[in-house]
Amino acid sequence: MLVTSKEILITAKKKKYAVPAPNFIDLDSARTYVSVAEKYKQPIFLAFAQAHQAFISLEEAALIGKFLAEKVQVPIVLHLDHGTDETYLKKAIDLGFTSVMIDASMASFEENVRRTQSVVKYAHERGVVVEAEIGHVGSGENYENHDHSDSIYTEVKDAIAFVEYTGVDSLAVSIGTAHGHYKGKPILSFERLHEISQAIETPLVLHGGSGSGDANLHRCATEGISKINIFTDFLVGAMNEIHSSQPEDYLALKQGANHGMAAVLEHYLKIFSNNEFQ
């Protein structure tokens, strides 16, 4: 069923687990994620990033997401990920996305607040929830150590003020993860995560989950993060299965890719749970 993330994230925060947010780029990837969610009876975010509009249009993403979500009983949040253009964000809301992320994290604090407030007002009037980002999750290719990374850690005082000024429903924070493939070993600041989690009631989101390590992600999920975004690991999982199965034709290749992506989501549903980590 198609839902907003409001209650889902509040429950995840209270029970100390994280909901996965895999990015889809076509019907196959979206259908694979929803099938896994249904199999395990677990909610997920079906996330479409503005950066992926070259693969499918926003209109196509909305149709795919709503069609698949409404076919199952498990809660599915149709989420616009990393929306940088206010017009694009409002269009996603009008098309039926139930959750949107406004990413103005590279702007000044004041500009981030202003742009987020505008999106929150438009979204809340239409029953849609909003995620925003404070700090900045940079590129994994630039991640060698904290001096060379283009990530900017979230300041606790900024997180407190931002939530108060904007009324966002969830907040993406930067604690040391990065987008894409890592160059170097991820070093996460759990101290910063704990400080932010204790300072605000708003559910927290982690971007750049791929490649961060199972132990790190399990700790994030059980120590303050309520939603974790994953994308690169699904691409890696698809290619690994293709290389392993050596498909003889295109149909077999697509099946292999879907199988590989399904295995990744099944894995992370376990890692993000609050069961004892193995």
- What is the longest distance spanned by two Cα atoms in the chain? 56
CB burial of 131-147 (b: ≥16 within 10 Å; e: otherwise) equals bbbbbbbbbbebbeeee
How many other CB atoms are there within 10 angstroms of residue 260's CB atom? Answer: 22
Cβ atoms of 69 and 8 closer than 8 Å: no
Looking at 81, 103, 169, 233, which residue is catalytic? 81
Cβ atoms of 209 and 225 closer than 8 Å: no
How far is Cα 46 from Cα 24, in angstroms, rounded to an integer?
7
Both tokens of residue 135?
Answer: 């700090």
How many other CB atoms are there within 10 angstroms of residue 269's CB atom? Answer: 19
81 in catalytic set = yes
Name the 3-class secondary structure at 206.
strand
How far is Cα 255 from Cα 273, in angstroms, rounded to an integer?
27
- Catalytic machinery residues: 81
